[in-house]
Amino acid sequence: MNESRRPRVSAKYQPSRTSSRATYLLAGVAIVVIAVVVIGGIIWNSQRDKGGSADQAVLAQNSSLIIGKADAPHTIDVFEDFQCPYCKQFESASGQAMINAANAGKLRVRYHILNFLDRNSGSGDYSSRAAGAALCVAQAGGADQFLKYHTKLFEQQPAEGGDDPDNAELAAMAGSVGASQQTQQCISSGARVDAAKADAEQSLTQLSKALGGDAGTPTVLSEGKPVANVLNGPGWLTSLLANDSSS
């Protein structure tokens, strides 16, 4: 989606909480996965600085949604997967803080929805279908509606390997946050799933560059570089904003 077409945000939301402290690993992108399976996930330190950097132009073009002013002093890229329980934890701790900073003109946030945890879902494609549904909402309903739906998808996150919502159920969830019938039809038909997969692939490539070959969720990049300790509460954002001499 072209960055110039993305709406600004004024939404308020409060995600649910969870207590896990871990992230997922996808090593070598699509080549070899080397992992240790813990609590149904693959644990790794997603915040290691390996000296890489993502392409800002690419990240600006393949995000699902961008909030905040174009001239905000800080731009971050947030990488999530709707099947990832640690992304749910991250959103619970830091989601509203990011929105508040964007509303205050201090932060620009680019959301990237990945789908490599399709393999952990009961249907085998939940991450992709949820990403496609979120893209339908973002394109038709704008920032406020996207953020409400984004929250609901994490609040109602299915268990790994268990039953997950079909497209009709994903559409009904969108309707509950105000999505139009046209948007619900977009979700029911899976109209944006392929586009969401293409965006996810490009985002994953950039994330892998930034992390030296690894890619995990949740991860936050600031100006193409990984931010540390994003699962330890919103202190990472406070520190980031404190580096702005004008704040």
CATH of the domain at 132: 3.40.30.10
Tokens of 36: 């240790």
Looking at the predicted structure, is the pLDDT value of residue 22 above 80? Answer: no
Q: In this structure, is residue 4 part of a structural domain?
A: no
pLDDT of 244: 64
Determine whether 17 is exposed, middle or buried from the number of CB atoms within 10 Å of its CB (0-12, 13-18, 19+): exposed
Q: In this structure, is residue 3 part of a structural domain?
A: no
Count how many domains the chain has.
Answer: 1
What are 232-236's contacts with CB under 8 Å, separation 24+?
232/21, 233/93, 233/94, 234/93, 234/94, 234/97, 236/94
**The total number of residues written for the chain in this structure:** 247
Q: In this structure, is residue 105 part of a structural domain?
A: yes
Residue 104's domain spans which residues? 23-242
CA distances to 53, 73, 130 from 148, in Å: 31, 25, 14
Partners of 110 in beta bridges: 66, 77
pLDDT, tens digit, 9 for 90 and up, residues 46-93: 333 444 678 888 888 889 999 999 999 999 999 999 999 999 999 999
pLDDT of 88: 96
Q: In this structure, is residue 117 part of a structural domain?
A: yes
Percent of the chain scoring above 70 in pLDDT = 77
Would the pTM of this model clear 0.85, i.e. be above it? no
Q: In this structure, is residue 104 part of a structural domain?
A: yes
Average pLDDT, the chain: 82
Q: In this structure, is residue 33 part of a structural domain?
A: yes
Inter-residue contact 204 to 127 (CB < 8 Å):
no
Q: In this structure, is residue 128 part of a structural domain?
A: yes
Q: In this structure, is residue 1 part of a structural domain?
A: no
pLDDT of 57: 87
Q: Which of 29-38, 53-62, 195-204 reaches the highest mean pLDDT?
A: 195-204
